[in-house]
């Protein structure tokens, strides 16, 4: 009787478990960074992305060969004029200085003695002239040795910031080999690259607007100061420098800035999208377009040119459409995403 009761209870529990419906797994929408077409191609002109650099940058090196025994600065160190930056092993220079000084003292003693002999008529004038010439040569050699000894210390000729360290302590360097790069205090510029198609449109001295990405977005007044006549062999773009006025402390070396030249025009059918939005599908180039229901679909596009700021699209997109701007290789067609706007993304 007892066994029958236990059997009925177990059967009831089994039927109850079978009758319960298994809850479907919750599908989590993948977050994706997106961008509205047209928002990156600023109205009224093409923007060039660049880096803030010092107007004057100097590569520093020793004037003689040797082993670096000390380097006192690192990249980003603020230095003053005359400050010691690095030193070479001075052993050889000290020995050369001592030898040259000894030769000078000997030549000086000889000259003094022969002057006395000449005053008494014991030697000729030509003999004295030879000793005087030897004294001058020894003095010059001693001075050269002192200079060589001083060259074992590398000093900053101007105040500024160490932009890069190019050699380490313990390294043997040749005379003139770059050891440090110093960005001198003073005027700042934006280093940009001009594409081949726009090289002929740019003129040195033309007005420009500079916007600091770390600033408040207010354009600063600038001018195209320098435009290289030779294209970079790797990127096929022309290096350029744009000078601009900025309040002290508002901009720092290495910051990112955008530049737009006055009078620049852009066709409304061309759009600039990030490089990270491009999805290469075999020989075809495509982007993920976000629908109204937040689902994504792949669409082929035509790229006219690649720039530092992105790719120029001349076909396949319409202004106002939203595209995925990052993480494109993790998506599948029809997948719904959680939108993250590029302007508010971290």
Would you state the pLDDT for residue 339? 84
3-state SS assignment for residue 303? strand
Residues of the chain with pLDDT under 50: 1, 19-20, 23, 26, 39-44, 265-268, 343-346
Please say whether the beta carbons of 297 and 288 come within 8 A. yes
Distances (CA, A) of 156 to 59, 77, 79, 183, 188: 11, 12, 7, 11, 19
CATH code assigned to 30-41+269-341: 2.40.420.20
User: Is the Cα torsion angle 331, 336, 340, 342 positive or negative in sign?
Assistant: positive
Residue 344 CA, distance from chain mean position: 25
The rounded distance, in Å, linking the Cα atoms of 334 and 320 is: 20
User: What are the residue ranges of CATH 2.40.420.20 in the chain?
Assistant: 30-41+269-341
Please say whether the beta carbons of 143 and 102 come within 8 A. no
Burial class for 272, CB neighbours closer than 10 Å (0-12, 13-18, 19+): buried
Q: At what angle do helices 91-119 and 125-150 cross, to 10 degrees?
A: 160
Start-end of H helices in 168-288: 196-199
The rounded distance, in Å, linking the Cα atoms of 235 and 77 is: 31
The DSSP symbol for 99 reads: H
Burial class for 188, CB neighbours closer than 10 Å (0-12, 13-18, 19+): buried
The rounded distance, in Å, linking the Cα atoms of 57 and 225 is: 15
Please say whether the beta carbons of 84 and 154 come within 8 A. yes
What confidence tens digit (pLDDT) does each residue in 20-36 have?
Answer: 455 455 466 778 888 88
The fold of the 68-88+153-184 domain, in CATH, is OB fold (Dihydrolipoamide Acetyltransferase, E2P) (2.40.50)
Please say whether the beta carbons of 274 and 310 come within 8 A. yes
CB proximity list for 343: less than 8 A, separation 6 or greater: 39
The rounded distance, in Å, linking the Cα atoms of 263 and 194 is: 16
Nearest to 274, CA basis, from 227, 224, 235, 324: 324
Nearest to 274, CA basis, from 32, 52, 44: 32
Nearest to 126, CA basis, from 137, 136, 114: 114
**Superfamily the domain 48-55+186-261 falls into:** Efflux pump adaptor protein, beta barrel domain (2.40.30.170)
User: What are the residue ranges of CATH 2.40.30.170 in the chain?
Assistant: 48-55+186-261
What confidence tens digit (pLDDT) does each residue in 116-127 have?
Answer: 999 988 989 999
3-state SS assignment for residue 249? coil
User: What are the residue ranges of CATH 2.40.50.100 in the chain?
Assistant: 68-88+153-184
Would you state the pLDDT for residue 270? 64
The fold of the 90-151 domain, in CATH, is Helix Hairpins (1.10.287)
The rounded distance, in Å, linking the Cα atoms of 179 and 172 is: 11
106: which strand partners? none
- Please state the pTM of the whole predicted model: 0.56
């Amino acid at each position: 009787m007892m066994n029958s009761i236990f059997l009925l209870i177990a059967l009831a529990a089994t039927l109850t478990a079978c009758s319960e419906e298994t809850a479907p797994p919750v599908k989590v929408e993948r977050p994706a960074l997106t961008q509205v077409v047209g928002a990156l191609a600023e109205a009224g002109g093409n923007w060039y992305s660049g880096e803030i650099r010092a107007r004057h940058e100097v590569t520093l090196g020793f004037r003689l060969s040797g082993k670096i025994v000390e380097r006192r600065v690192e990249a980003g160190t603020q230095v003053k004029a005359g400050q010691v930056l690095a030193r070479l092993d001075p052993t050889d220079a000290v020995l050369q200085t001592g030898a040259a000084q000894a030769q000078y003292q000997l030549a000086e003693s000889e000259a003094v003695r022969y002057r006395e002999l000449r005053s008494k008529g014991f030697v000729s004038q030509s003999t004295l002239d030879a000793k005087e010439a030897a004294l001058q040569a020894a003095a010059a050699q001693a001075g050269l040795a002192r200079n060589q000894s001083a060259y074992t210390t590398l000093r900053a000729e101007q105040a500024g910031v160490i932009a890069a360290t190019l050699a380490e302590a313990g390294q043997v360097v040749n005379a003139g080999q770059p050891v440090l790069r110093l960005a001198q205090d003073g005027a700042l510029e934006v280093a940009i690259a001009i594409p081949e198609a726009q090289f002929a449109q740019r003129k040195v001295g033309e007005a420009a607007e500079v916007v600091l990405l770390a600033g408040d977005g207010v354009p600063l007044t600038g001018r195209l100061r320098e435009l290289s006549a030779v294209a970079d062999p790797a990127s096929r773009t022309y290096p350029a420098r744009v000078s601009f006025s900025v309040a002290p402390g508002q901009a720092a070396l290495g910051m990112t800035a955008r530049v737009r030249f006055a009078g620049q025009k852009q066709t409304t059918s061309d759009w600039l999208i990030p490089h990270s939005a491009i999805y290469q599908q075999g020989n075809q180039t495509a982007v993920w377009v976000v629908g109204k229901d937040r689902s994504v679909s792949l669409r082929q596009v035509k790229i006219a040119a690649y720039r530092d700021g992105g790719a120029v699209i001349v076909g396949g997109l319409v202004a106002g459409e939203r595209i995925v701007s990052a993480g494109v290789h993790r998506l599948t067609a029809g997948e719904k995403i959680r939108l993250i706007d590029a302007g508010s993304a971290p």
